């Protein structure tokens, strides 16, 4: 979970990390709006669960 203005090491406009292959980055779409981040994580978890059942 990354804030709208993340630390420079997380780069910008990416959902992946060049340092961690298995990590998916979830970013705020607007400053202080964590609701959309949590919604995106929830959707991703539901997708993973569907694929593994």
pLDDT tens per residue, range 27-37: 999 999 999 99
Is residue 41 scored above 90 in pLDDT? yes
> On the CB side of 39, how many CA atoms lie within 13 Å of its CA?
6
Q: What percent of the chain has pLDDT over 70?
A: 100
pTM comes to: 0.85
Please tell me the total count of domains within the chain: 1
Structural domain contains residue 1: no
In this prediction, residue 53 carries a pLDDT of 85
Structural domain contains residue 26: yes
| Cβ neighbours of 38 (radius 10 Å) | 12
Structural domain contains residue 2: no
| Torsion region of 15: left, alpha or beta (phi above 0 gives left; psi -120 to 50 gives alpha) | alpha
Q: Report CA-CA distances (Å) from 14 to 23, 24, 49.
A: 11, 9, 24
């Amino acid at each position: 979970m990354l804030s709208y203005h993340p630390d420079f090491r997380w780069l910008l406009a990416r959902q992946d990390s060049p340092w961690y292959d298995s990590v998916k980055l979830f970013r705020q779409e607007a400053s202080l709006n964590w609701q959309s981040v949590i919604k995106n994580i929830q959707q991703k978890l539901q997708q993973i669960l569907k694929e593994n059942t």
